[in-house]
Amino acid sequence: MKILLITQEDPIYVSEFWDEFVSRQDELKSHNIEIEALVSLEPLGKSKKKDLFKRIYGMYGLAGTAKIAMKYLKARKNKRDIKYYAEKMGVRFINRPKIHSEEFLRIAGNTDIIVSAAASRRFKKKLLEAPRIGCVNIHSGPLPKYQGMMPVFWQLKDGKETIGITIFKMNEELDAGEILVQRYVDVSDCRTLDAAIRKTKKAGAAMMLDLLCNFEKFSNDQKSSNESEATYFTFPDRKAVKEFLKTGRRLI
């Protein structure tokens, strides 16, 4: 089976996923799974970066935003970008492609599965249909509940001590599709949102490896997502943060 991995540059949290994934890549080889390439999508445009900064500032405040910035700079200094992980796995690195171009669709069409791990673009129909089996995505929420942004935050805010993680077969709707595997991670030992996100990223990588190595089994057991139970969340504002802090946890 040949897979194509698509992600984005995020040295703070997405790197936790790839650290775990790379450390266990021999499991893929033992199941005759070949990685076609590791793809890093283009960064957000300037206007979107400004919007993201406003959201982060609104959520974390001045001190928290400064801490996030320091974490980002420290991670960048360690140079653990997506190219680094491609080199560690010994696979082709594709940087900032136009994922809906004919050229990229030809690459995608030469694979069995596309794996999306924090990909920063929404996949259109042609890309979703390009690989032989389809595209799978991982979401740190028990879909169809907790669709949208920052699912770990919203689960902790609701007092959850376990965080749901879902891997699903993608369709044109956001965070919707046939559920391939869903598990829960105990985060009762995590006193901060930061720690919980890191723990779920590593657990998610382990889940993805298990899915890929046993894809036929999980595919046979897939189930439909009951969209009537769906809940959707946006980026947290200060009001939501105040409610979150009442749980006794901190953001960072």
CA distances (Å), 220 to each of 4, 13, 66, 214, in order? 22, 31, 47, 10
Which domains, from first to last, does the chain contain? Answer: 2-138+167-179+200-223 (3.40.50)
- β pairing state of 93-95 and 34-40: parallel
pLDDT tens per residue, range 12-25: 899 999 999 999 99
Q: How many CA atoms lie within 13 A of 85 on its CB side?
A: 29
Eight-state DSSP code of residue 41? P
CA distances (Å), 204 to each of 13, 38, 183, 247, in order? 12, 17, 9, 24
d(CA 67, CA 71): 6
pLDDT tens per residue, range 22-51: 999 999 999 999 999 999 997 765 557 788
Q: Token pair for residue 51?
A: 């919007």
pTM: 0.94
pLDDT above 70 for 66: yes
Mean pLDDT check: name the lowest of 42-51, 64-73, 87-96, 219-228: 42-51
